[in-house]
């Protein structure tokens, strides 16, 4: 399923679409589960506080886009970072298994 989940709105929808688009450019056959995109209600865990979106990347075709500390994958991380910036968003890795997407301060 490579569509933005219905429960996401506003900047969260935008962020999810950017992620999906980046993954599909890299691998047009990739399949992302809707369950990797969590809305801000996930904040109760302490991860991604004030984020517009929390992304689970424990596994799946989108995982390499969130691993900034792997020299072999840095180009994928940078591509996602650049695309998010075009819509005034940025990404922060919270743990090895999730990242948070935030709006840029104006």
- Residue range(s) defining the domain that contains residue 83: 10-103
Q: Provide the number of structural domains found in the chain.
A: 1
Q: Name the pTM for this structure.
A: 0.85
Pairwise CA distance, residues 101 & 56, whole Å: 11
pLDDT tens figures, 34-85: 777 775 556 566 667 788 999 888 888 888 888 887 788 889 999 999 999 9
| 84 class by beta-carbon count within 10 Å (0-12 exposed, 13-18 middle, 19+ buried) | buried
Band the pLDDT of 16: cuts 50, 70, 90.
very high
Domain contains 45 = yes
Domain contains 89 = yes
Domain contains 3 = no
The pair phi, psi for residue 94, each rounded to 5°, is -85, -45
Residue 46 CB contacts under 8 Å (≥ 6 apart), including other chains: none
| Token digits of residue 40 | 């801000």
Domain contains 64 = yes
The yes-or-no verdict on residue 32 having pLDDT over 80 is: no
pLDDT of 18:
95
Domain contains 2 = no
pLDDT of 28:
85
Q: Hey, is 93 helix, strand or coil? A: strand
Domain contains 4 = no
């Amino acid at each position: 399923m490579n569509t933005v989940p219905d429960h996401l709105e506003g900047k969260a929808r935008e962020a999810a679409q950017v992620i999906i688009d980046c993954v599909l450019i890299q691998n047009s056959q990739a399949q992302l589960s809707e369950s990797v995109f969590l809305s801000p209600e996930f904040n109760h865990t302490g991860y991604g506080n004030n984020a517009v979106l929390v992304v689970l990347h424990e596994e799946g075709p989108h995982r390499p886009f969130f691993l900034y500390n792997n020299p072999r994958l840095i180009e994928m991380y940078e591509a996602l970072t650049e695309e998010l910036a075009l819509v005034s968003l940025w990404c922060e890795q919270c743990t090895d298994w999730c990242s948070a997407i935030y709006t840029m301060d104006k």
